[in-house]
Amino acid sequence: MAFNKIVKLLQLLSIQMVFASPIHAGGKKSETIVDPAELSPPLRIVYVRPVDSTPFQLPNGSTVDLSADLDSMVMTELVKTGWFAPAPFEELPANSEPSCTKDCNSHLELRAAVTTLELNTLELGIRFGYTPTEEIIPGLTSLTGSVATKIGTLSMDFQLYRCNDDGCHALLASTANHFTAKLDLKLEIDFGDIHTGPGLIWNSSLGGALRKTMKKGLTELTDSKYANSLPWQSNIRLIDWNTGTVVLDKGTQDQLSLGQDLIIYSQLSPDDNACQPYRAIAKVTVIETNPISSTAIISEQIAPEEIRIGDLALINPAIRGQ
φ/ψ of residue 256, rounded to 5: -80, 130
- pLDDT the model gives residue 93: 77
Residues 261-271 have pLDDT tens digits of: 999 999 877 65
Average pLDDT of 65-71?
96
Instruction: Provide the mean pLDDT of the chain.
Output: 85
Let me know whether 129 and 251 are in one domain.
Answer: no
**Would the pLDDT of 33 be above 60?**
no
Q: Which of 160, 189, 222 is the last residue of a domain?
A: 222
CATH code where residue 265 lies = 2.40.10.410
pLDDT at 6 > cutoff 90: no
Q: Would you say residue 320 lies in a domain?
A: no
Q: Three-class SS of residue 298? A: strand
Section 151-173 average pLDDT = 93
Confidence of residue 97 (pLDDT cuts 50, 70, 90): very low
Q: Is 100 a domain residue?
A: yes
The reply to whether 282 and 236 lie within a common domain is yes
Using the 3D structure, point to which of 222, 256, 289 is the last residue of a domain: 222
The reported pTM is 0.81
179 within a domain of the structure (yes/no): yes
The percentage of residues in the chain with a pLDDT greater than 70, rounded to a whole number, is 81
> Mean pLDDT, to the nearest integer, of 190-200?
95
pLDDT score at 94? 65
Q: What per-residue confidence (pLDDT) applies to 143?
A: 94
Whether 96 and 180 map to the same domain: the answer is: yes
56 and 135 assigned to the same domain? yes
**Host domain of residue 153:** 44-222
What pLDDT is attached to residue 205?
95
Tell me, yes or no, whether 111 and 202 share the same domain: yes
Q: Which residues contact 109 (CB under 8 A, 6 or more apart)?
A: 46, 47, 48, 49, 89, 160, 161, 162, 163, 168
> CA–CA separation, 76 vs 33, rounded Å?
33
321 domain-assigned: no
- Segment of 32-36, 117-121, 314-318 carrying the highest mean pLDDT: 117-121
Q: State residue 37's pLDDT score.
A: 58
Q: In this structure, are 126 and 207 located in the same domain?
A: yes
Same structural domain for residues 53 and 104? yes
Is 298 a member of any domain?
A: yes
Q: Indicate the helix (H) or strand (E) that contains 212.
A: helix 206-222
- Say if 184 falls within a structural domain: yes
Mark whether 179 and 308 lie in a shared domain. no
3-state helix, strand, coil in the chain (%, to 5): 20, 35, 40
Quick: pLDDT tens for 76-86. 999 999 999 99
Confidence band for 27, pLDDT divided at 50, 70 and 90: very low
Nearest partner of 146 among 122, 165, 167, judged by Cα: 122
Q: Are residues 24 and 154 in the same domain?
A: no
Instruction: Give the count of domains, the chain.
Output: 2
Q: Are residues 237 and 186 in the same domain?
A: no
211 and 257 assigned to the same domain: no
Q: DSSP string of 86-117?
A: EEEGGGPPP-S-TT--GGGG-EEEEEEEEEEE
Quick: pLDDT tens for 206-250.
999 999 999 999 999 999 989 988 989 999 999 999 999 999 999
Q: Contact 60/191 with Cβ under 8 angstroms?
A: yes
pLDDT per position as a tens digit, 261-315: 999 999 877 655 556 678 999 999 999 999 999 999 999 999 998 999 999 999 8
- Give the other-Cβ count within 10 Å of 144's Cβ: 11
Nearest to 43 by CA among 280, 219, 250, 294: 250
Q: 250 and 195, same structural domain?
A: no
Q: pLDDT tens for residues 44-63?
A: 999 999 999 999 999 999 99
Compute and round to an integer the Cα radius of gyration of the chain.
26
Q: Are 80 and 74 in contact (CB under 8 A)?
A: no
pLDDT of 177 over the 70 cut: yes
Is residue 227 assigned to a domain?
Answer: no
Where among 222, 242, 275 does a domain terminate?
222
